[in-house]
Structure 1
Amino acid sequence: MYALLLAIIYLAFISLGLPDSLVGAGWPVMHDELGVPVAFAGILTMIIAGGTIVSSLLSERLTLRLGAGLVTAISVGMTAAALIGFSVSGSFWMLCLWAIPYGLGAGAVDAALNNYVALHYAARHMNWLHSFWGVGASISPFIMSYAISSGFGWSGAYRSIGIIQIVLTVLLFLSLTLWTRVNREPSHEHADPDDEPAGNGKHVPLGTALRIPGVALILIAFFAYCALESTAILWASTYLVSERGVSPATAAAFASLYLLGITGGRFLAGFFADHIGDRTLIRGGFLTVAAGVIMILLPLPTDVVALAGLVIAGLGSAPIYPAIIHSTPVNFGRRNSQAIIGIQMAAAYSGATFMPPLFGALSAWAGLWIFPVFLAVLVALGLAMSERLNRIVARRSQLADQETPRRSS
């Protein structure tokens, strides 16, 4: 039962990644055909990001009411409808309209799926699943490229991926009984005899979740990581060309290697994630990113070290996101995990949405040389917050161990 549903969830994660690169890949053609400025892409992505933040915060209520399986199926269906809507849009305002269900569907399914996997599957699967998300995100630019070069246009790419999402939606609705059966079975890990089971029907209000010791710390850490990742993806190539004198082709290739490092690193991390644990993965990931950022920062006469540092930063980034999500039930309890993961998704989208433009504004004032400094600050912030959380969780475990003999007596 676990294996069959897991295969469906793997397909869902590939599907999650497919739409994420479409706007960026197709916008050079889309804005020209629609007759709008290049900068209007920011409006579109902000609407999508706003929808994901809202639905992430509402995900716990939806999941308690409908269940993770139905929330996932409905959310993927909304995304499919939005993609088909994009494919038939002949004006920018129509894209903005369809961007609303696009974002709402993405946020809810992300939070619901991540929490479900964190509760029911081992750490290795969380890493591999997010690696499969990277596969989907890497495939969609090629679909867009093929559609444009073959005469189908950018709308053909949206239509193709929309059809894929429709097929997955049907598959998810057909698999709803599997979700229910697996949910009734005891989780193979994260079992805490003093903890309530997940999905106990009790809503955890936002204020209550935020007051749980350590939640604010992990939100800041997650915000910092996602800000780091999105800033590196958007600005690394520009920094290498403008500040290091690297050729545009070489810079683009190594910027893509940062993404490939994340995807490949998550696949490799899955083989030892269960043995070393989420905390070690988070700590080691941040430290590896720090090493890569230092290599980028070093004022050496050769660019080889900086380019290698970008790849190392990508490999270090790989396990951080999956490990933070997977550790949530252990750090804060199964009863609270859905609410907290929803807030974590909102923090993640906020960091990924607002920090790259902030860096753009700072670099316009101070210069692009601050790129590795900006990344270093985010690494230090993420590492410091995650380590403080580890100390809080360790103290909580010590107190629980001290209470156990008293209960027994």
Structure 2
Amino acid sequence: MATFLLIIIYLAFISLGLPDSLLGAAWPVMQGDLGAPLETAGLLFMTIACGTIISSLISGRILKRYGTGKVTFVSVLMTAVALLGFHFAPSIVWLMVCAVPLGLGAGAVDTGLNDYVAVNYKARHMSWLHCFWGVGATLGPIIMAQFISGDSSSSWRNGYFLIAAIQFALVIILFFTLPLWKKVKVKRNDRLLEEIDELKDVINEKETNTKPLQTKGVKWALTTFFFYCGVEATVGLWGSSFLVNIKGISVATAAGWISFYYAGITVGRLITGFITYKVTNRTLIRWGQLIALSGAIILVLPLPSAFSFVGFIIVGLGLAPIFPCMLHETPTRFGKKHSQTIMGYQMAFAYTGTTFMPPLLGFMASQMTIGIFPIVIVIFAVAMLLSSEKLNIILGRKNAY
């Protein structure tokens, strides 16, 4: 029963990733069909991300009151309705309206399922959970590419309709599996013993009464999260527009290439789950940042278009281990006493980077050219690397490499 519910949770995380990559893949066609300026995609993306932040902040109380199963069911229903709204939306205004429930639903699903898996399943399942998000994010552009490859400028609507149909199918599955959420209680006694051991560790750590934000190195960790999500979200949203407008790639091919970027993240996280047995989190974070930076540099260089394809894949592979390894490293870096609070701050800064950095590039591109895209990605990646290395210096080398 627990295994069956875990499969449902993985399916829900695939559905969480599906719409995340759709807007960037479809925007080159949507822009012309709706007669919207380039930077409008950034505003839509910001609206979705703001909804995600809001729902994440209030989801704790909602989850305690209604339970993870019901909240997940309602949240996925909200995203399905929102995606269907994208299909029918006659103007940018209606897209903005539909973006609100899309973000609200996504944030609640993200928070609820992460918490449920952390409490009820072994730690390794958290790594696979984020891998399945990548599966959804990879499939999104692939599905959209099948529709926008046609001659119709409104073909993107059919892509959103299919994704909405997939979400509604998951809603039906979630409805009929609601009783499972209360029945699955995985190794509660073992979990209680683990929490007792963790409490002993906290007592033995001789931690001070320092507030979480005053803990040594926290601000640099938050900065790293901010720029990481700045890179990940900006590449996903504007990569396709860069390929179409600067490299002269067709919109369908560009969407397909971006799907390989998400595939790089997905495969990279799958591999990371195995090599964490031999390699430390800090080493994976550092090498991931260097690999992502090298991929961004390839995009900057005046090379044939095929190298852009390679560059996107390398960026995705580099980004893969950074986010989950940084989350997992939190208690080691800052102690268990404040780890939950600091984890919340890190997620907030991650969503903030997702919210503001892609629209910033959109605004800059509207004033200049989308050709600045790879340069901005390099700047974000360098800032992420420097912030992370500054954090390592502050914390010392005691748990490293």
Structures share fold, TM-score greater than 0.5: yes
Provide Cα deviations, 1:337-386, integer angstroms capped at 9, x if missing partner: 55444443332232223212323444566666654443233223222333
Distance across 1 between alignment mates of 2:41 and 2:369: 24
Matched residue, 1:37:
36
User: For the Cα contact (< 8 Å) 1:79–1:165, is it kept in 2?
Assistant: no
Residues 138 and 260 of structure 2 are in contact (CA less than 8 Å); yes or no, is this contact kept in structure 1?
no
Alignment of 1:342-381 (within 5 A): 342-363=344-365, 370-381=372-383
Following superposition, the deviation at residue 312 of structure 1 comes to: 1.9
What is the one-letter code of the residue matched to 2:360?
L
Per the alignment, residue 179 of structure 2 pairs with 174
Q: Which of 218, 227, 245 is equivalent to 2:230?
A: 227
**What's the counterpart of residue 401 of structure 1?**
none
Question: What CA distance in whole angstroms lies between the structure 2 residues aligned with 1:351 and 1:394?
Answer: 27
Per-residue deviation, 1:106: 0.9
Report the CA distance shift for 1:367/1:44 in structure 2 as closer, same or farther (over 3 A).
Answer: closer
**Hey, what does 1:129 align to over in structure 2?**
129
Instruction: Report deviation, 1:161.
Output: 2.7
Q: Note the residue ranges of structure 1 that are not aligned, 5 or more in a row.
A: 197-206, 398-409
* Contact 1:281-1:320 at 8 Å conserved across structures: yes
CA distance in 2, matches of 1:359, 1:65: 40
> Is 1:383 the counterpart of 2:378 in the alignment?
no
| Aligned-pair identity (%) | 44
1:274-353 paired onto structure 2 within 5 Å: 274-298=277-301, 307-332=309-334, 336-353=338-355
Q: Which runs of 5+ in 2 are unaligned?
A: 203-209
User: Relative to structure 1, is the Cα distance of residues 31 and 57 closer, same or farther in structure 2, using a 3 angstrom cutoff?
Assistant: same
Matches within 5 A, 1:253-268: 254-268=257-271
Q: Is the 8 A contact 1:68 1:116 kept in 2?
A: yes
Q: What is the CA-CA distance between 1:215 and the residue it aligns to?
A: 3.3
1:54 Cα deviation (Å)? 1.3
Cα distance 1:184–1:52, how it changes in 2: closer, same or farther (>3 A)? farther
The CA distance in 1 between the partners of 2:32 and 2:367, in whole Å, is: 30
SS of 1:37's equivalent in the other structure is coil
Counterparts in 2 of 1:368 and 1:46: CA distance versus 1, 3 Å: closer
What's the secondary structure of 2:191's corresponding residue?
coil
Residue 163 (structure 1) shift: 1.2
Aligned amino acid, residue 192 of structure 1? E
| Mapping 1:194-205, distance limit 5 Å | 194=200
Instruction: Supply the RMSD in Å over aligned alpha carbons.
Output: 4.3
Aligned counterpart, 2:249: 248
> 2:162 maps to which residue?
157
Aligned to 2:206: none
Partners of 2:188 and 2:88 lie apart in 1 by 39
Name the residue aligned to 2:207.
Answer: none
Q: How far apart, CA to CA, are the structure 2 residues paired with 1:32 and 1:11? A: 33
* Residue type at the aligned position of 1:48: I
Partner Cα distance (2:72, 2:330) in 1: 20
Work out the CA distance in 2 between the residues paired with 1:72 and 1:215: 31
State the shift of 1:129 in Å. 2.2
Cα-to-partner distance string for 1:107-140 (whole Å, 9 max, x where unaligned): 1221333344456656653343222212212333
What TM-score, normalized by structure 1, do the two folds share? 0.74
Distance 1:161 1:253 in 2: 20
Matched residue, 1:138: 138
1:13/1:242 CA distance change after superposition, 3 Å: closer
* Alpha-carbon distance between aligned partners in 2 of 1:155 and 1:307, rounded to the nearest angstrom: 25
Structure 1 partner of 2:49:
49
Residue 52 of structure 1 deviates from its aligned partner by: 0.6
Return the TM-score normalized by structure 2.
Answer: 0.75
Deviation string for 1:289-346 (max 9, x for gaps)?
12323444456x6666665344322211111122223333444556655544444333
Once residues 37 and 113 of structure 2 are traced to their aligned partners in structure 1, the CA distance between those partners, rounded to angstroms, is 34
Within 2, Cα distance between the matches of 1:376 and 1:29? 27
- Quick check: 101-110 or 380-389, which moved more? 380-389
Q: Which position in structure 2 is the counterpart of 1:216?
A: 219
The residue type paired with residue 140 of structure 1 is: G
Partner of 1:79: 79
Query: How far did residue 160 of structure 1 move?
Result: 0.6
Could you tell me how far 1:87 is from its partner in structure 2? 5.6
Amino acid at match of 1:160: A
The answer to whether the 8 A contact 1:117-1:126 is kept is yes
Whole-angstrom CA distance in 1 between matches of 2:336 and 2:184 = 17
What amino acid is aligned across from residue 224 of structure 2 in structure 1?
A
Structure 1 residue 23: Cα displacement: 4.1
Amino acid at match of 2:318: G
Contact 2:42/2:360 (8 A) holds in 1: no
Question: In the alignment, is the contact (CA less than 8 A) between 1:17 and 1:133 conserved in 2?
Answer: yes
| CA apart distance, 1:176 | 1.6
Q: State the SS of the aligned residue for 1:248.
A: coil
Structure 1 residues 6 and 277: alpha-carbon distance in aligned structure 2, compared to 1, 3 A threshold: farther
SS at match of 1:228: helix
**Residue 114 (str. 1) matches residue 100 (str. 2):** no
Q: Residue 18 of structure 2 aligns with which residue? A: 18
Give the secondary structure class of the aligned counterpart of 1:270. helix
- Is residue 271 of structure 1 aligned with residue 274 of structure 2? yes
